[in-house]
Amino acid sequence: IGRSRKRYPPGPRGLPLLGNLFDLPKREEWVAYKEMSRKYNSDLIYLDVLGTSIVVVNSLEVAQDLFDKRSSIYSDRPRMPMLNELIGFDWHFAFMPYGEPWRERRRLFHKEFTPPATLLHRPRELEATRKALVKFLDNPDGDYLSKFRYLSSTIILGTAYGIDVQNNNDPYVNVSERAVYAITQAGNIPSYLVDQIPALKYIPEWFPGGGFKKQAREWREYANDTPTLPLKFVKDSLADGTARSSIASRLISGMDEEGNRTPENEALLRDVLGSIYVAGSDTTTAVLENFVLAMVKNPDMLKKGQRAVDAVTGPNRLPDFSDQNSIPYVDALLKESLRWRPITPLAAPHRLMTDDEYQGYHIPRGSIVVGNSWAMLHDEVLYGPDTHLFNPERFLTSDGKIDSEVKHPEMLFGFSRRQCPGMDMAESSIWMTIASMLACFDILKAVDDAGRPIEPVEEYSSGMVCRPRLFRCSIQPRSPRVETLIREGL
């Protein structure tokens, strides 16, 4: 009775006991929540699912009011029985509850990836990019995905652990890809009924409806191996004197020198490095897939990007990080690749730690609060008309410079204290890849046996990470001179 007297944000009327269980969208939830926002004329949408309050934030203004200005009560994570308790990703600080263990891990992560610190990783980013360019030359089969995965894995595994990625079937890459897949499937609340009824985690696999337990058991192996296997590699390499420079080798050696290599400090290091490993291995790949799809669909933008790069680098060298402030069109392509089809259209869920009142609405303690990044990144007030179209010009002034008045699409990386601290390095590596691809390759539609262009179909996966489904394309070197530059670039 007391609950019914409170004024909650608007949303669909629920059923007795079940609430809005059947109102939860099955696919493209971000679009469905934006439609609810329009229907109810509210940037906040409220759903009650089996007694759990879910609040979806559909505008940047409200997100800043809640996640930023009230971050002390909106920075917790909800309990995630499937992801954390059954699969075993409780070591990943992105999914940890707000508290001291989370603070310790984020502090160490942030220390290694501040903007000045990321400059130290740029030589490895450049080397990995040049190696990936050679792969595109040696295998011009249009298989962009495997090359981008190699690129991102080479950067992350090299930076974090000093591991050289194998050309094919690398065991560390295989583990991380399976771990990332598990996170994308189980990371959105509520992905599984056990997230709403935690007691279900105790039912046996063979029990009707217990199939999620079998799935969790299979994924648990990857959740366990992700932080432990590469760290073991570093410790073994340090012991036999073969360790390469990396975050892990430096921090472990530092602990040995200071005499504080305790199990607690090793666990802290293991968790942070594992979080780096998972966070970086998939996100940059998905953004680059967006970029390739956009270039295939917009050959005029490809040509404009190529001209912009050529004007700075000339015919005798490849782009490097010294060019970053000289090619604003590449910056605009990067930002639009982040905005157009955001790879995390729904931010990881927050949990409200105490009752709150906002704009006359009551938001109860324990609510799951989700930022609809897609809705914000498609807000025409922020990004102008036709936000469904790929248009890098929206980030540029009339004279071709970056428009500082247009909001950076950082909502893609989360909000406030829960925003990904690896954002700067991710953007840095994506910038270098985009500039290099423009300098070296024509990215075009594939053709069928009759020579007719094949239109790419815009279909996207649905989950915590949203990416375009594989499509055929043609990625060919622009000239023999480019081939020489690529091979000399190594």
Which residues sit in the known binding site?
A: 420
Q: Which residue has the tokens 């890459």?
A: 173
Q: How far apart are CA 411 and CA 373, in angstroms?
A: 6
Output the CA torsion 464→467→470→474 (10° steps).
-160
Of 365, 364, 48, 79, nearest in space to 198 by CA:
79
Q: Which residue has the tokens 């269980």?
A: 21
Contact 411, 375 (CB under 8 A): no
Q: Three-class SS of residue 452?
A: coil
Q: How far apart are CA 422 and CA 14, in angstroms?
A: 39
Binding site members for heme? 420
Pairing of strands 44-49, 361-363: unpaired
Contact 356, 70 (CB under 8 A): yes
Q: Three-class SS of residue 475?
A: strand
Q: How far apart are CA 418 and CA 406, in angstroms?
A: 23
Question: Residue 443 forms beta bridges with which residues?
Answer: 475
Contact 346, 188 (CB under 8 A): yes
Q: What residues contact residue 200 under an 8 Å CB cut-off, 6+ apart?
A: 81, 193, 194, 209, 212
Burial class (CB in 10 A: 0-12, 13-18, 19+), 337: buried
